Amino acid sequence: MEGSEVRGRLDVIEEEEAADEDSSTPEASTHLKDDLRSCRDKLSQKIVEMENFASNLEEIFVTVEENFVRQEQQLEQHYADVLQSVCVRAEARVASVCEQKKCKLERLYGELLRCGNTLQTAKLLIQSAQTLHRRQHTHAFLQAVMPIINRMEQFSSEEEEELQLGVSLEFQVPSTDLSDVRQMMDSINALPAPSAPVMNPQISNSATHTSLHVCWSLFSDDTVEFYLLHWRLISDDCTLLTPQEVCEMKVKETHCRVCDLLPNAQYELWVTATNTSGISPASERAVYMTVPSPPVIRPRECVSSLDAALIRWDSGNTNPVESYTLELTEDCADGDGGATECIVAIPCCECVVQLQPRRSFIIHIRAVNTGGPSQRSEPIHICSTGTFFRLLEDTAHPSLSLSADGLSMFYLDEDLPLSHMTFSDNTFARCVAVLGDLVPIRGQYYWEVEVESSTEYRIGVAYEDTHRNSYLGGNNTSWCMRHTLTPSRHRYEFLHGGWSPDVCVTVPALRVGVLLDCAAGTLSFWNAALQQLLHTFTCSFLHRLQPCFALDTPGAMRLHTGLPTPAYTHTR
């Protein structure tokens, strides 16, 4: 019975059960239905198993057909090789016998010529003897016959030796070594050549940044003496006109580790199997990938606040990676690290991390691709005790000089000519200013700025896209406190859009505290030494804010970050 018919009958039974459930039935009928349902489930499971078994049988059938065709081709080729080897040897033996025949006939012909010459000589001697025998004069006969007799005796003794056959009538057939043919015949039924191996997919976490663990398998029970693994780098460089070099390795097992590879790179691999009967076809080619190199955190570009941090890093790899993983561990005072929290699938080289206030943390970054995660980057220590950031050098006016730690700025007395200044779209052009960097969330931030009483300056915040060719506070995208000197006093203005309220500050502020509360929409300035509130802006900030600083006259300014927000700022 086909699986579809069985399922159809089960569906009918199920519909009948559903119809019966609407009416009240005895308890015995309920038990019977439960048993029937159990049997139905078992039968359904059995049908699935039978279908899987049938599918496996079909695969085995296809494999047997393929092996038969391959074995038939191998046998035909094998017997063709044997026949060719025997024919070559037969032709060689016939050629050897023909050469012997030619030599024997030539020698016999020479013997026949010598025999004719001897016969002619004998006839001449007989005729001479008969002529002498007819002579009547005895003295003349004796004088002439002695040389003839001597010549006949000499000739008869020589001919006794020459009239022996000098050519053997037997042919010498050369022996032929057929051991290799016999070995070829024996090998037909001894061992077939292996079938093509199958490359296994790459296993997770089986690679490093310079090595790959490669596995393969065989469908049948082939006998294999060794495998030959081949691999080459897959490059995305279109300028390469020639394919990458193919490397190979002889392996006894069905797995091996390939070393000395490039990080975060794709490799194409294939394998062949070899035994005494021959070499198998090559396997299908598989693509494996090494894991990336560890990323490199950029400490100068990492910022933090009381409850969050912005971590930035470089990939550390030439080719793009799929994602990054950030590992956050609390740095406990007793030296034992707390539990590690992971943020996975980060698509770019920066991430905002939520932190618990007034804690210390250790952060690592891993790069991830299909081969697995890289090793940890070098750690960075982040404290959530306050706001920590640095000045952004790429926004600074060319007349400004920044310290190596990115926390101090200097405006020298000498004015540079415009021809020696280099501006960009992100650089302040009119105002001698620079921006700082904050975590891009709507939180609360506090920092302090140490200034000189003789220096004119501007301190505040601005949108990140504030116009670089205007003065801070002179547009609607910046809010700042401006300090100028008059002949009679220190003047303080709190500018936004070029307008300032009438505020009188009697004591010069040498250390200014700035409190930005994005959620509340307030920006406050404090005389940190006197704990005195100077002014508060109230505004619904629409975009990301960044600290801004400017020197209107030559002087210096020092930024203090990482400070906890003073308690007095919350009481007023």
Confidence of residue 2 (pLDDT cuts 50, 70, 90): very low
The amino acid that residue 250 corresponds to is K
Express as a percent the part of the chain with pLDDT over 90.
Answer: 45
Residue 26, pLDDT > 80, answer no
CB burial of residue 399 (10 Å; 0-12, 13-18, 19+) = middle
Model pLDDT for residues 373-387, shown as the tens digit of each residue: 999 999 999 999 999
> Residue 124: its pLDDT value, please?
77
SS3 content of the chain, % helix, strand, coil (to 5): 30, 30, 40
Q: Which pLDDT score is estimated for 377? A: 95
- pLDDT tens for each residue of 483-514: 999 888 899 999 999 898 888 888 899 999 99
* Range scoring the smallest mean pLDDT among 91-105, 127-141, 515-529, 555-569: 127-141
Task: Map tokens 């009538």 to a residue.
Answer: 169
d(CA 327, CA 362): 8
Q: What is the pLDDT of residue 78?
A: 74
CA distance 124 to 490: 163
Stretch 278-292: mean pLDDT:
91
Q: Are 255 and 214 in contact (CB under 8 A)?
A: yes
In order of 129, 159, 172, 572, the CA distances from 98 in angstroms are 47, 32, 11, 127
Our separate counts of H helices and E strands in the chain read 4, 29
pLDDT at 241: 45
Per-residue pLDDT at 481: 96
The distance of Cα 320 from the centroid of its chain, to the nearest Å, equals 11
pLDDT of residue 6: 47
Confidence grade of residue 41 (pLDDT, cut at 50, 70, 90): confident
119-128 per-residue burial string, b: 16 or more CB within 10 A, e: under 16: eeeeeebeeb
For residue range 214-266, list pLDDT tens digits in order: 999 987 677 889 999 999 998 765 544 456 789 999 999 999 999 999 999 99
3-state helix/strand/coil string of 399-422: CEEECCCCCEEEECCCCCCHHHCC
Residue pLDDT, tens place only, 171-192 = 565 666 667 666 666 655 556 7
390 confidence band (pLDDT: 50, 70, 90)? very high
Domains and CATH numbers, the chain: 3-16+30-162 (no CATH), 198-289 (2.60.40.10), 296-383 (2.60.40.10), 393-570 (2.60.120.920)
Q: Reply yes or no on whether the pLDDT at 541 is more than 50.
A: yes
Nearest to 228 by CA among 252, 250, 247: 250
Alpha-carbon Rg for the chain, nearest whole angstrom, is 53
